Structure 1
């Protein structure tokens, strides 16, 4: 471990390759001038990020999440474009068709505050009186004019674009700061959640974690539903592991069970369920400060006011600082590619840049929730203020950098560290790494070693669940059932024992109730 800690002296040099952050004066903030709390939120954000006061725009808007296309044009798009012109934030000229196009701009990023509507609904035509509405087809969904306000605002300075369906995002899959890309689009993020307090906490956490770095566990929940989405999640799991972030990967078709005992979760990516469930239903669960969490679902951000419905609002309510989502059906290929998002965040980009590099479509359904300038992995180089809760995770990162191609030496060093420091977190991380390397037998025994060192029943249960997961994925159903029965009984006083019961009900469902006699 001493060798790993000494390596800290060498790590800051790695930060030289980080992308340049967006300039504060390249950000404009939009708030609802009819709601005092929206203005207060805008002022707090500007102060925290050093954004000049002349970059704030207040618009008188209705206090609702969903608006019509006419309301969007009248209350948001036209007044905002007029403010850009008045403040000389862009230079536009007409093209050959007479449409205004951006030639240069001083503003690259817009941040919408809670109070600014988030969805534009374009209702389908009503059928003739007396006739039933036709069934909703894929063609009807993909040719809709409904969109997220934020995604529509990306094209604020470009006239003449079709409102039907999605537009191609020229920033998609790029790997350069938006200021260098020099594109005629705006990157639009949003600080929004079910309450004003959650919004303030999101901003404060982003600033605090940029000083210390985001350290903790990764969790990737793979649905085994559609190959494209599953591959994104596999890529995320691999990239997190290669970054030295110990990562739990669940490959069962069901999402992680209710009350699964997660701890220190810094990164979560999962799919595919309509409403929040699993570990996030546990009243005691909280993400690590500054966490990035997202669940891939067509309507993950269909609303932001109910912290128990959909995914975006609940994840933020559980302590995440950043998430992404969709307002209406986006279709998988036109939503955020989670692997690109994660990769760009790990590379040091801001949340809003990473999110738009990951999204192939504009004028569509995507939203980015959290401080747009937040760079969660700014301190992967080992710099920043050292916190006691982060020391093991920092050491795991160092070990990955020191022995990237020698997993056996890395494993031996971490096992020695666990023994010297009497900290089972090292062993849990070794077990997760062994799983990533397909060494399931040694992983299971390592989780058993970690269980002996852990003193909290909560953590011991997690180790037993890991072993049951290994047996389940290895088709050793009888062993998995026995392990889950033992865990359900042993930890019966814990609310988290529901996780064992949930998996047990899948593998060994109870018999159906007896049929009621006919009367």
Structure 2
């Protein structure tokens, strides 16, 4: 019964396209890989990716480029854009032809040259290829003065500028932005050079090793499933000027739930605090800190294989070669497999629509590259896209993946069972039936993930003792550090609500012992002290009192004069 239940849930799941999985074998032929011949490690990243995705050797191109992340526009044109366009035509990767296009308005029709056939759709820029094009006040294009002052700029992300390479020169202007006609498309085939767009992403990061690992992480997720939890960090804003970003974060959360993930939505004004238990991160989206912060700034972050992580900020990707400044570089350094970010000020509407991205990547089964560009309203603008463009979060049909994991005895099958429960819950299946499903699985008895989920279901149907029992059992079966922290925090709340003072005290002491460097130790001791006194634990109470005194901040200094003796 449980097996049929699982397969029925997954069969009714996402609008998965069989063609997506079948095309993965030949997708490498749609990719051109570009590396910097002057940067150590760049070619190694390129060759590694080409081997992993079966990109033909003739589609790996080395160019002599600057060693800096920021380049002048004239250098971008001279050393990157024009040589790449030349190589694409010379190697027969696309064919140019004459067509008639509207240029300045609907009646300004001109014959222009652009790709009429193209074997390739993706360009992968490898570690060492410059990231951004700096502003050039001397660069002038016809019609520059028509842009409003805030858009009368010609700095841009290299990725976003190169995405417009299929457009004829008459339409490819440096100043301002170019409207992305593929924004919100649900037809992935539209994202094609013959429609004026190249899907440009990069394998990059603080080191060549990190850049190499991005495709490896994507392939691991495609092989055994993209699993984990989602965390969306909104700000609880009601200001109309920021409503767009808030709606995107909330929308991403809801879409992750529809995809079957356990998703956490935070609506506090501040970002996730340092002690927040982010465990098993498959998807993270948040805003709006300048530099990596909270639990994501820790030395170790629990990113799952293939994890996507994105923080909306005007300069979130101002540099990718840093591990502790901005966001994109630090997220990659801590294990995220793909991200996006802004290299210069984009303004809110010029950042990726994370709601559209989530829908296309998780629900429409777009590749990462397709989803990233379907989510952008503007090209020739400020967004860089980092990760394997061919990566699909759901590369397998969910039914087939579930059966594969069960047959192979893979531990990831626990996540598939959790997704079954979440999807059936969304369809209105009674919670008691879902509880029975988990209880009927042999694996649940010894699995921390399934025991925690069982406890959550017990809590939802109002069974407090069963809730505590399941969460305590989860602690016995090697939860990850952040799952252990979350379980301790949930148990603290549940035990206090049930008036189980002795158990609440023991749990709090375990929390203090297991996470001695977690922020909030003073507050924890202050919470435990009344329980210790109430239970007659005099020695423990004295210890807690001493610890509280040690951790209390010193009294403010006074400037009062000292009286003479």
State the TM bucket, normalised to the shorter chain: 0.7 to 0.9
Measure, in 2, the Cα distance between the counterparts of 1:180 and 1:367.
17
- Structure 2 contact 30–119 (Cα < 8 Å) conserved: yes
The alignment status of 1:284 with 2:300, answered yes or no, reads yes
Q: Per-residue deviation at 1:266?
A: 1.4
| Among candidates 413, 434, 438, match of residue 391 of structure 1 | 413
Matching residue of 1:128: none
- Structure 1 contact 4–399 (Cα < 8 Å) conserved: no
- Structure 2 contact 13–423 (Cα < 8 Å) conserved: no
Which shows bigger deviation, 296-305 or 179-188? Answer: 179-188
- Structure 1 contact 304–313 (Cα < 8 Å) conserved: yes
Q: Per-residue deviation at 1:432?
A: 6.6
Gaps of 5+ in 2: 101-108, 139-146, 526-550
| Among candidates 451, 455, 458, match of residue 471 of structure 2 | 451
- Decide whether aligned partners of structure 1 residues 510 and 417 sit closer, same or farther in structure 2, where only a CA change above 3 A counts: farther
Matching residue of 2:127: 114
Which shows bigger deviation, 88-97 or 145-154? Answer: 88-97
- Decide whether aligned partners of structure 1 residues 378 and 366 sit closer, same or farther in structure 2, where only a CA change above 3 A counts: same
- Decide whether aligned partners of structure 1 residues 373 and 139 sit closer, same or farther in structure 2, where only a CA change above 3 A counts: same
Q: How does 1:223-234 map to 2 (within 5 A)?
A: 223-225=235-237, 226-234=242-250
The alignment status of 1:425 with 2:429, answered yes or no, reads no
Partner of 1:325, secondary structure, is strand
Q: Per-residue deviation at 1:206?
A: 1.2
* TM-score in terms of structure 2 length: 0.77
Measure, in 2, the Cα distance between the counterparts of 1:488 and 1:120.
53
Partner of 1:266, secondary structure, is strand
Matching residue of 1:145: 154
Residues 253-295 of structure 1, C-alpha deviations (whole Å, 9 max, x = no match): 1111114333222111222211111112222323111111111
Q: Say which structure, 1 or 2, has more relative contact order (CA 8 Å, 6+ apart).
A: 1
The alignment status of 1:191 with 2:191, answered yes or no, reads no
Q: How does 1:411-422 map to 2 (within 5 A)?
A: 411-413=434-436, 416-417=439-440, 421-422=445-446
RMSD, matched Cα = 3.7
* TM-score in terms of structure 1 length: 0.83
- Decide whether aligned partners of structure 1 residues 219 and 466 sit closer, same or farther in structure 2, where only a CA change above 3 A counts: farther
Matching residue of 1:473: none
Measure, in 2, the Cα distance between the counterparts of 1:246 and 1:339.
17
Matching residue of 2:186: 175
Q: Per-residue deviation at 1:430?
A: 6.0
Measure, in 2, the Cα distance between the counterparts of 1:222 and 1:47.
39
Q: Per-residue deviation at 1:92?
A: 3.4
Over alpha carbons, which structure has the higher Rg?
Answer: 2
Partner of 1:258, secondary structure, is coil
Partner of 1:303, secondary structure, is coil
- Structure 2 contact 16–397 (Cα < 8 Å) conserved: no
The alignment status of 1:92 with 2:115, answered yes or no, reads no
| Among candidates 355, 370, 375, match of residue 339 of structure 1 | 355
The alignment status of 1:365 with 2:378, answered yes or no, reads no
Measure, in 1, the Cα distance between the counterparts of 2:196 and 2:325.
35
Measure, in 1, the Cα distance between the counterparts of 2:211 and 2:388.
9
Which shows bigger deviation, 159-168 or 405-414? Answer: 405-414
Q: Provide the aligned length of Structure 1 versus Structure 2.
A: 492
Residues 488-514 of structure 1, C-alpha deviations (whole Å, 9 max, x = no match): 765223447625459989xxx988942
- Structure 2 contact 134–155 (Cα < 8 Å) conserved: yes
